[in-house]
Amino acid sequence: MGKVLDYINEAVRKNAVHMTLIDPDKQDPEEAGRISKEAQHFGSSAIMVGGSTGVDLELTDRTVRRIKSNVSIPVISFPSSSGGLSPGFDAVYFLSMLNSTNPRHITGEQAYASTLVKEFGIEPIGMGYIVIEPGMKVAEVGEADIIGRKEIRRAVGYALAAEYFGMKLVYLEAGSGANKPVPPDMIIEVRKQISVPLIVGGGIRDADAASLAVRSGADIVVTGTVVERNGGLNRLKEIIGTIKKVRPG
């Protein structure tokens, strides 16, 4: 097992985990570094870097380097395509959008990215990525056959399939900026059925929503949009503080 995956598994065993998503398009590298430093200080366990649109390799690279010089927690690529990889990453979520209708997002981009991952010497962490309603931009770009909020059995099916394929993590994604996060009853059922760590993200913007996700069974909560708003860092602090209380070490 790789170093970053070991670190994630260990963190999840101890208590509920938070990861901060930074979209390189949303702020300059300096600001990304500043946000990441604060996030680490509040107790976030990793910085994920990625965005669904317009991946600019040069900007990603500068952003990753800036973040790396500001934090000691892992900086993980959260790619939307093979284009967003930088040699500066500690690891990459080597994800397959399992409910895409286009094989390009299930195995195509990955077949291209794998050689770059090898060349750069980045740790790949296999992940089953499952897009739930409303799905937002990532559903559109990834041509997802979106799983409805009530389609719990379908969500469980994809999550179990991910585990049986040998993927190390399962991610239930409502989409960045979603007006509603992944429903609690879906999280509960998926958590019951799988044994690998469960990540939940999309639309989690306050401590209550984060707490509900963790109480339902999310091992890892991802937030992105919240820090882009006024007072966002305070919100982030509250979110991380709350989830650590809900499932303390």
Positions touching ligand 1GP (CB under 6 A) are 21, 173, 176-178, 201-204, 222-226
Cis peptide before 134 (omega within 30 of 0): yes
Nearer to ligand 1GP, 223 or 248 (CB): 223
Nearer to ligand 1GP, 3 or 53 (CB): 53
User: Cβ 18 to ligand 1GP, closest distance in Å?
Assistant: 11
User: Cβ 199 to ligand 1GP, closest distance in Å?
Assistant: 8
Nearer to ligand 1GP, 53 or 248 (CB): 53
Q: Which residue in the shown chain puts its C-beta closest to ligand 1GP?
A: 201
User: Cβ 115 to ligand 1GP, closest distance in Å?
Assistant: 25
User: Cβ 148 to ligand 1GP, closest distance in Å?
Assistant: 18
User: Cβ 224 to ligand 1GP, closest distance in Å?
Assistant: 3
Nearer to ligand 1GP, 91 or 204 (CB): 204
